[in-house]
């Protein structure tokens, strides 16, 4: 078999229900250049590893790595180290590539060789939107906008140069938000090697993202949530500063960061395993004393950037934060009432854009 142009890396763990759909979406891709698929069985306790072996026996483009459970980052790193292609695409075992996705990404890359190719995704498995290589170009100053458009934080909607990606492996110390760290490290390396690079954003959704698994706060409780996200956001903000992102993008970025953090504080009250409510409350108040949070609130004050969580975090009012977060989570009109109440308490002088 000739050397592949693109390798799709799939970490596999307890994936029996969706693995066939995932791998079928890869091997059925119609491409002008050869592709490969690396399945990394990360110590699956079920028969996922055997299913991987069946696929490898069926299709010579599929190879399997079996390893002890090292987590999703360790699995992706094993696939990275084994890849020998020009480009890499990541795919989770419960997701799928849409027909024509790899060729569309490759066509866009060939047209814009000094770019990072990214694409939209769909949460509809039967989405009929046409897959094309039509794309828009964004400058490096658009980094914050990528986050706001939900295009930055995930690793599976981008085409990576293998030689660069292998130099910035996933940081296995993180079990939350590690994807953002990898993407930012890759962008920093790309910028150092190709200073004039741009972002090429395909307008078609190329990946089916199975959102039935839920989001971070709706799946399991993370005790270090309010420690880890400030580290990620500090790195993101530094990258955006280096990219000279405009203020009209930085304000909503900071607002989004405050929302993520405040909802993490609320989750301490909601799901921390401490039996006593007073202990959970003390943990939440301790999180509100974070130097990173203080610096973010001060930056928002200077930017005159308003958020419904701005005053509750300033006041360290865990009750207000929890009430807001619960109202938002349940779709209660109370969120809007408290939002506007805070805005007018500040004289209506801060920006809501």
Could you read off the pLDDT of 128-176 as tens digits, one per residue?
Answer: 999 999 999 999 999 999 999 999 999 999 999 999 999 999 999 998 9
Q: Which residues pair with 38 in a beta bridge?
A: 9, 63
At 2, is the pLDDT very low, low, confident or very high (cuts 50, 70, 90)? Answer: confident
Note the pLDDT of residue 213. Answer: 57
Regarding beta strands 35-42 and 6-12, do their DSSP bridges make them parallel or antiparallel, or are they unpaired? parallel
Per-residue pLDDT averaged across 331-341, rounded?
97
Residue 108, classified by CB atoms within 10 Å of its CB into exposed (0-12), middle (13-18) or buried (19+), is: buried
pLDDT at 334 over 50: yes
Note the pLDDT of residue 216. Answer: 37
Angle ∠(35,113,98) on CA atoms, nearest 5:
40
Q: What is the CATH topology of the domain spanning 6-213? A: Spore Coat Polysaccharide Biosynthesis Protein SpsA; Chain A (3.90.550)
The closest alpha carbon to 108, from 4, 10, 206, 2, belongs to 206
**With left for phi above 0 and alpha for psi between -120 and 50, is residue 41 left, alpha or beta?**
beta
pLDDT at 201 over 80: yes
| Residue 309 neighbours by CB under 8 Å, 6+ apart | 258, 259, 262, 321, 324
Note the pLDDT of residue 211. Answer: 80
pLDDT at 218 over 60: no
| % of the chain with per-residue pLDDT over 70 | 98
Note the pLDDT of residue 215. Answer: 41
Ranges of each domain in the chain: 6-213, 220-345
At 1, is the pLDDT very low, low, confident or very high (cuts 50, 70, 90)? Answer: low
């Amino acid at each position: 078999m000739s050397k592949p142009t693109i390798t799709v890396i799939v970490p596999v763990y307890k994936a029996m229900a969706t693995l066939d759909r995932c791998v079928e979406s890869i091997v059925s891709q119609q491409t002008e250049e050869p592709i490969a698929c690396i399945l990394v069985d990360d110590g699956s306790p079920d028969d996922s590893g055997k299913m991987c072996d069946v696929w490898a026996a069926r299709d010579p483009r599929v190879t399997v790595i079996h390893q002890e459970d090292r987590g999703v980052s360790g699995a992706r790193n094993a696939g990275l180290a084994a890849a020998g292609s020009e480009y890499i695409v990541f795919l989770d075992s419960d997701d799928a590539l849409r027909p024509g996705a790899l060729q569309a990404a490759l066509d866009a890359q060939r047209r814009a060789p000094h770019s990072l190719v990214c694409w939209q995704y769909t949460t509809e498995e039967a989405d009929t939107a046409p897959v094309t290589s039509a794309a828009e170009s964004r400058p490096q100053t658009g980094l914050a906008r990528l986050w706001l458009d939900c295009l930055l934080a995930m690793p599976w909607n981008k085409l990576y140069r293998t030689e660069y990606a292998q130099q910035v492996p996933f940081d296995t110390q993180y079990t939350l938000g590690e994807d953002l760290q990898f993407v930012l490290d890759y962008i920093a390396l790309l910028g150092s090697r190709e200073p004039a690079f741009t972002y090429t954003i395909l307008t078609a959704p190329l990946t089916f993202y199975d959102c039935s698994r839920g989001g971070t706060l709706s799946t399991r409780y993370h005790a270090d949530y309010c420690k880890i996200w400030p580290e990620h956001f500090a790195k993101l903000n530094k990258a955006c500063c280096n990219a000279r992102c405009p203020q009209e993008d930085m304000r909503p970025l900071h607002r989004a960061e405050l929302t993520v953090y405040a909802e993490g504080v609320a989750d301490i009250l909601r799901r921390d395993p401490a039996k006593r409510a007073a202990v959970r409350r003390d943990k939440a108040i301790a999180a509100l004393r974070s130097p990173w949070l203080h610096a973010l609130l001060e930056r928002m004050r200077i930017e005159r950037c308003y958020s419904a969580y701005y005053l509750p975090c300033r006041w360290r009012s865990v009750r207000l934060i929890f009430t807001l977060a619960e109202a938002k989570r349940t779709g209660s009109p109370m969120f809007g009432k408290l939002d506007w109440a805070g805005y007018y308490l500040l004289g209506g002088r801060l920006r809501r854009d």
